[in-house]
Structure 1
């Protein structure tokens, strides 16, 4: 039952979250940041270029090899822009979603984090209580993390980054408590901006 509920939560939340970023109103957000932390994530070490594989030793690559992440457990959904897995060991569901976000080129970096916070709070945050908000940075690109207690008692941890004009969203959701497995999942994320190729490059000019 948890697996079904978590996958429904991820699917719905990710759809609404991505839709929220396409709303012009988010470019005008002037909401205060509730976090006093700034975490820098070092991803300067690149792996050698690999053949275009979906998985290699549980490390999954984006379709353009622009990102990689370790997905615990068994993959339950594998689409071009979304990957979801479930770990029976920790009873935790994981997801990573990536979408082009052309509007980011017109939003100053400080406001991008406000856009992230507003969109995440209005979608995922709507289903429970936000316990903690943390500002993140990955290779100089803005990001945000939310730790949430959902209304059904489950615990969720979510991260979103805007890299160039692409949005990366990651999440873990469990009925118990988040473990080292979830820490390793988030820490394994790597992004390679120079490999990003947009589906419609003219909209970025």
Structure 2
């Protein structure tokens, strides 16, 4: 899924691009509306992630320009916490979804996946590994039809592992998925999340294994000792 991320904050933009690319998205970045205008004329995007407080033009001004010009690319707006007026105006101008800052990466990815599926007219996709079922639209997990009780961090970690089933995911990649950019958690905090996941996946037919020197991997089989 090809994305255009219109975001002027350097650290946030770099974090977003790195994390989205690790999940299989193909993101490009525009730091301002001028750059974004040029990029949409040369590249067809599946969705646009649009910040509003941009240095040259307000994001809603460009959104109106897009819609008046006949561009129907799905647009997800990033808004400041509590910016109700911006959200209402954005939806009225043709935005497809919005997310308030700070946000969980897993929620952003789920919303983008839903926008892409809606645009292609596809139905919800469910993937099963052993007794574990992953719904890629809601980012939820279930065992034998019952929702698996996971914390937001556990859910984000398991979603990252499912997307690369049978292949190792590094600690750094998981950290980006599980912890928000401003988190003061140490790099070893991911080990606590993995420990809890192993317990919750007992007898599920899949297991989180440690790949020495590489990170963690989700694979079929019985649980490894925790």
Structure ranking higher in strand proportion: 1
Q: Which has the larger radius of gyration?
A: 2
In terms of fraction of residues, the more helix-rich structure is 2
